[in-house]
Amino acid sequence: MPARLIVGAFVLNSGLSKLKAEDETAQYVHGTAKTAYPFLSSQDPVEFTRKLGKAEVALGAALLLPVVPSLVAGAALTAFAAGLTGLYLRLPGTREEGSLRPTQEGIPLAKDSWLLGIGAALTLEDLLGSHERKTVIQAEVVPG
């Protein structure tokens, strides 16, 4: 639960900031995204940033609310973080030549790989925990 709370609060805050982003911020966010993902070029920068903000608010809330299963919240975080990690891998100047090591400019994006790890951990923990619970229930039902 602590990982869900801290990541959820961080993502929620990021989303709320994007919802009220000024044109200049929206241009920057969209410009970064379309450099890594050219198919986003046709999106309006302000609309794109608002949609991204809404997605982050929803994700942050899903992580913060314990009624949302860790499998669901973890899978959503994993997908979101994969996109952020893609920015790091695709944007020029974020990595040292021929390496995965970040440049000074790439460190803020490289840190998003932690979100990928946390999302995967939440997902796997729920999946493996479900398997263990089924095994325990079956062991109790089937006489040994």
Residue pLDDT, tens place only, 11-34: 999 999 999 999 999 999 999 999
User: By three-state DSSP, how is residue 14 classified?
Assistant: helix
Domain ranges, ordered by start, for the chain: 2-141
Query: What pLDDT sits at residue 130?
Result: 62
Using an 8 Å Cβ cutoff, are 26 and 49 in contact? yes
Mean pLDDT of 44-48: 96
Contact assessment for residue 63 and residue 77, using Cβ atoms and an 8 Å cutoff: yes
* Tens of pLDDT, residues 115-128: 999 999 999 988 88
pTM of the model: 0.81
Q: What mean pLDDT is predicted for residues 56-70? A: 95
Q: For 69, phi and psi rounded to 5 degrees?
A: -60, 145
Phi then psi for residue 95, to 5 deg, are: -125, 150
* pLDDT at residue 136 in the model: 47
**Spatial distance between the Cα atoms of 94 and 105, rounded to a whole number of angstroms:** 6
The residue to which tokens 């990541």 are assigned? 7
pLDDT band at 61 (very low <50, low <70, confident <90, very high): very high
